[in-house]
A and B are shown apart, each in its own frame.
Chain A
Amino acid sequence: MPALFVAASALIVVNAIWRSPGTSAAGLAIILAGLPLYAVFRRKR
């Protein structure tokens, strides 16, 4: 069951990126924008 779930998720994500590369790239940029904030929190800790 978990393997099926992982495979289906991968298929859906690849499909979304394939169909809308620009939108997905913008989404990826938003996700990665968290990295500098992560560095700030780590330094403060």
Chain B
Amino acid sequence: MSSTVLDRRLGPVDAAAIIISNVVGSGIFLTPAVVASLTGDAVSMLAVWIVGGFIAFAGAMAYAELSVLRPHAGGEYVYLREAFGPVAAFLTGWTSFVAGFSGAIAASAVGFAFYLGRFVPAAGDTRALVVIPTGLLTVTVSPQSLVAIAAIALLSIVHVRGVRPGRLLQNVLAGAKVTGLVALVALGFSIGDGSWGHVQNVQHPVAGGFLLALVPVMFSYSGWNAATYVAEEIRDPGRFLPRALAVGTGAVVALYLALNLLYVYSLPVSELAGLTGSVMDVIAERLFGHFAGNLLAVLTAISIAASVSAMIIAGPRVYFAMARDGVFFRRAAIIHPRYRTPAGAILAQSAWSCLLVLTGSFTQLIAYTGFAVVLFSGIAGVALFVLRRDQPDEPRGFRAWAIR
């Protein structure tokens, strides 16, 4: 308990797996319909994903420089503290705790229970078992919320019990997710019932739609910075962090482009634009027939579980850093004496996420604070220039290409 520094036990593959899992959640299954309706054209639709991917990669390179300069736990909390002071840093950490990570974990865990409900109907049952009005919010206990809470608790326990079992679970889930999606793309193009005519059939793009479509696309790419939250636990951060950020983000961009190409291969953009819910469900059925539905539900459940797991790793490192600075609950700074993990911070995030599941308030929280993810990462980008100006002589193991 005497040490206040986390051990460096993660390699570049672990860090890249955290990025891939964090980014590829349910967004890529839901967002393409919105993007299709805003662009109205297959080429424009794919171009938005390419531009969004380039912006995400640019952000990853900016974060690579910052994380090599300050290879500590906390990501943008650390960079904002160094460049703009403790208040700005606290606000990004607070937002991550109250909504950013916790809200996304709650939403994803409920999504996981929903997909599990395809195989075990009780898991997706939303009927209220107990309702407790508490004034502003109502706590509703349903079988679905209990399954979501169990998923959060189970994954939190694994990540409390050591970096080694945590990274093993994370790498297996990320590997299964990527393998499943790559297989789906490969099978879709080789044996699926689609047409390249959908891609070549250029319609009139929607005026101004490109910029508007960039917003949901950037939200789908959010999480490319996940490796920087665990920078304190990455071996040889000067070498491995930039590599993990480049490979992780690059892999996500490639995967997203392949999936979107598959979407427009299987459906005309006009039909894609009219879809509600998971695009992937409709696409798989169109390409492979009805039997693909259950297989796809398994893949989606794995994808969501991997995403929840990655957020349970990343988020607590922010609160741990805050508590270590004395601006968060003191217990969040506790490093487990045996497992060497920020156990207090993991449990705090787990408890708050479970409360959000029970109150159902995560939907509003995410809607209200969604723009904050881009806001704070953009401010971290500005921090890079501030630190270059204020600390020009500090050795930089990695330098993102930029105008000085």
A interface, CB within 8 angstroms of B: 1-6, 8-13, 15-17, 23-24, 26-27, 30-35, 37-38, 41-42, 44-45
Query: Closest CB of chain B to A38's CB: distance in Å?
Result: 5
Q: Which of B58, B90, B328 contacts A4 (CB 8 A)?
A: B58
In the bound complex, do residue B369 and residue A27 qualify as a contact, i.e. CB atoms below 8 Å apart? yes
Residue of A nearest to B65 (CB): A2
In the bound complex, do residue B95 and residue A11 qualify as a contact, i.e. CB atoms below 8 Å apart? no
Q: Is B128 interfacial (CB-CB < 8 Å)?
A: no
In the bound complex, do residue B61 and residue A2 qualify as a contact, i.e. CB atoms below 8 Å apart? yes
Query: Closest CB of chain B to A20's CB: distance in Å?
Result: 8
A5-B403 Cα distance, complex, nearest whole Å: 12
Query: Closest CB of chain A to B318's CB: distance in Å?
Result: 13
Q: Is B279 interfacial (CB-CB < 8 Å)?
A: no
Q: Is B348 interfacial (CB-CB < 8 Å)?
A: no
Query: Closest CB of chain B to A9's CB: distance in Å?
Result: 3
Cβ–Cβ < 8 Å partners of B91 in chain A: 31-32, 34-35, 38
In the bound complex, do residue A9 and residue B326 qualify as a contact, i.e. CB atoms below 8 Å apart? no
In the bound complex, do residue A27 and residue B368 qualify as a contact, i.e. CB atoms below 8 Å apart? yes
Interface secondary structure of B, over-half rule? helix
Give the size range of B's interface with the partner. Answer: 35 or more
In the bound complex, do residue A31 and residue B94 qualify as a contact, i.e. CB atoms below 8 Å apart? yes
Q: Is B23 interfacial (CB-CB < 8 Å)?
A: no
In the bound complex, do residue B402 and residue A30 qualify as a contact, i.e. CB atoms below 8 Å apart? no
Q: Which residue, of A6, A15, A23, A37, has the highest number of chain B Cβ atoms within 10 A?
A: A6
B interface, CB within 8 angstroms of A: 55, 57-59, 61-62, 65, 86-87, 90-91, 94-95, 98-99, 211-212, 214-215, 218, 326-328, 365, 367-372, 374-375, 377-378, 381-382, 384-385, 400-403
Q: Which of A2, A32, A38, A45 contacts B400 (CB 8 A)?
A: A2
Q: A13-B378, A15-B211, A38-B327 are in contact. Are A27 and B98 (CB under 8 A)?
A: no
A11-B403 Cα distance, complex, nearest whole Å: 19
Q: Which of A2, A9, A37 contacts B402 (CB 8 A)?
A: A2
Q: Which 5 A-B pairs have the closest CB atoms?
A: A9-B378, A34-B94, A2-B62, A45-B326, A27-B368
Interchain Cβ contacts under 8 Å between A and B, 21 examples: A1-B58, A1-B400, A1-B402, A2-B400, A2-B402, A5-B59, A12-B371, A16-B370, A23-B367, A24-B368, A26-B368, A27-B369, A30-B365, A30-B368, A33-B98, A34-B90, A35-B87, A38-B87, A38-B91, A38-B94, A44-B326
A2-B62, A27-B372 given; 5 more Cβ-contact pairs under 8 Å: A1-B57, A11-B211, A15-B215, A31-B369, A35-B91
A37-B329 Cα distance, complex, nearest whole Å: 10
Q: A2-B61, A5-B378, A45-B326 are in contact. Are A27 and B94 (CB under 8 A)?
A: no
Cβ–Cβ < 8 Å partners of A17 in chain B: 371
Cβ–Cβ < 8 Å partners of B384 in chain A: 2
Q: A6-B382, A45-B326 are in contact. Are A16 and B215 (CB under 8 A)?
A: yes
A2-B211 Cα distance, complex, nearest whole Å: 19
In the bound complex, do residue A9 and residue B94 qualify as a contact, i.e. CB atoms below 8 Å apart? no
Residue of B nearest to A6 (CB): B381
In the bound complex, do residue B61 and residue A34 qualify as a contact, i.e. CB atoms below 8 Å apart? no
Query: Closest CB of chain B to A15's CB: distance in Å?
Result: 6
Residue of A nearest to B328 (CB): A41
Residue of B nearest to A1 (CB): B58
Q: Which of B55, B87, B328, B402 contacts A8 (CB 8 A)?
A: B55
Q: Which of A2, A8, A27, A45 contacts B371 (CB 8 A)?
A: A27
A5-B381 Cα distance, complex, nearest whole Å: 7
A17-B368 Cα distance, complex, nearest whole Å: 11
In the bound complex, do residue A31 and residue B381 qualify as a contact, i.e. CB atoms below 8 Å apart? no
Cβ–Cβ < 8 Å partners of B212 in chain A: 15
A4-B99 Cα distance, complex, nearest whole Å: 27
Cβ–Cβ < 8 Å partners of A32 in chain B: 91
